[in-house]
Amino acid sequence: MGKRPPTIYTVANHAGVSIATVSRVDRGDPAVAGSTATRVRASMRTVGYRPNGAARALATRRHRAIGLVFPDLSGPYYAGVILGLEAAAGALGQNLFIVGTDSRARPEQLVSDLSRSVDGLVVMGRTVPDEVIAELQRGGLPLVLLARPAVGSSDVVRTENRRNAEALTRHLLEHGRRRIVFIGDPASSPDAAERWDGFVAAHRDRGGPIPIRPVISAFREGEGRAAALQALAVKSRPAALFCANDEIAMGAYAAAAELGLTIPTDLAITGWDDIPVARFLAPGLTTVRQPLAEIGALAARLVLERVAGSHKRPVTTVLPTEIMIRSSCGCRSQGGTWER
């Protein structure tokens, strides 16, 4: 019982070579003669050798891994970003650690724990106190911040919010929807705040005392539905709901259905993110596409560049977004035709 697993020494003995040669074979070093390599590989197989990653990491001083800290792993938005991050990290030969802070008691502890085992870290949203971020940064850990205000000199990846929020709001206003309610909490994230800014700016441009009221809500269907029901319960019902993300918009769809309101005739609804299901809703959801996978991929690349030491100056990248006009804003034929 408790027998030790085979190590590089086991293999070396079995094959009658030195551990250096075994190591070279394992790493595919071409300096090893073909015949030797074959023999060593055979030995590896027969003794059941599985190289120890920790030992390798210790010797090379590289973990070959990056960490991703998320507020919450669920939801299509996060899934999209993770997907892109994972693919990019993988393409660069790195493994990906993921950690969701929502399920954990002490995020700081968790993050500093994670930081022991990675070469760099991607931190998304308001998951970790700035202080912890700064601390890690001071320790020299390559860091990329996603959808989060900058801290010190980290790289930051964000997406364009303000301009398109303004454009989309103007679009609704120009279609005669005067009374528009913003559903989402501007204080919940920098992204939400910027969307709110754009929303307000569009109204200001048009002049006049137009009713603008943010309704607080978490960014999930259930909360969106509740907030929409509340927003629609007033005497002078709004003509449109500007939802801070697509999940909220889906909740708003449900609310509209419950109240017997037809979209977009009685009520226009817009979302944000362009999650995969957005186009399958009936009517298709007008929303703003974020390049989810690209956000993740870019973050991975940046953090790995830092790990490799190739860039020093902190970079803030703002990725473009794109307004996807479908039917829910009242633009196209109603019906639920399937649209790109």
Q: Which residues in this chain contact a copy of itself in the complex, by CB under 8 A? A: 5, 48, 50-58, 63-65, 73-76, 78-80, 82-83, 86-87, 90-91, 95-100, 103-104, 110, 112-117, 136, 138-141, 221, 225, 250-251, 253-255, 257-258, 260, 276-277, 279-282, 335-338
Taking CB within 5 to 8 Å according to partner kind, which of DNA, a copy of itself, none is near residue 23? Answer: DNA
Chain centroid offset of residue 190 CA: 14
Phi, psi of 244 (to 5 degrees): -70, -20
Site for DNA contains 21 (CB under 7 A): yes
CB of 69 to a copy of itself, least distance (A): 11
Site for DNA contains 33 (CB under 7 A): yes
Site for DNA contains 24 (CB under 7 A): yes
Site for DNA contains 4 (CB under 7 A): yes
On whether the CB atoms of residues 69 and 114 are closer than 8 A, the answer is yes
Q: How far apart are CA 320 and CA 52, in angstroms?
A: 43
Q: How far apart are CA 283 and CA 263, in angstroms?
A: 7
Site for DNA contains 48 (CB under 7 A): no
Taking CB within 5 to 8 Å according to partner kind, which of DNA, a copy of itself, none is near residue 36? Answer: DNA
Q: How far apart are CA 82 and CA 68, in angstroms?
A: 8
Q: Is 286 left (phi over 0), alpha (psi -120 to 50) or beta?
A: beta
Q: What is the 3-state secondary structure (H, E, C) of 129-156?
A: CHHHHHHHHHCCCCEEEECCCCCCCCEE
On whether the CB atoms of residues 32 and 24 are closer than 8 A, the answer is yes
Residue 39 or 162: which CB sits closer to DNA? Answer: 39
CB of 5 to a copy of itself, least distance (A): 6
Site for DNA contains 43 (CB under 7 A): no
Q: Which sign does the torsion angle of CA 279, 324, 191, 244 carry?
A: negative
Taking CB within 5 to 8 Å according to partner kind, which of DNA, a copy of itself, none is near residue 223? Answer: none
CB of 41 to a copy of itself, least distance (A): 13
The piece of 21-29, 66-74, 104-112, 318-326 that touches DNA (CB under 7 A) is 21-29
CB of 252 to a copy of itself, least distance (A): 10
Q: How far apart are CA 288 and CA 321, in angstroms?
A: 6
Q: Which 52-71 positions form the footprint of DNA (CB under 7 A)? A: 52, 55-56, 58-61
Which of 35, 3, 19, 66 lies closest to 27, judged by CA? 19
Q: Which residues bind DNA (CB under 7 A)?
A: 4-5, 7-9, 16-21, 23-24, 26-27, 31-33, 35-36, 49, 51-52, 55-56, 58-61
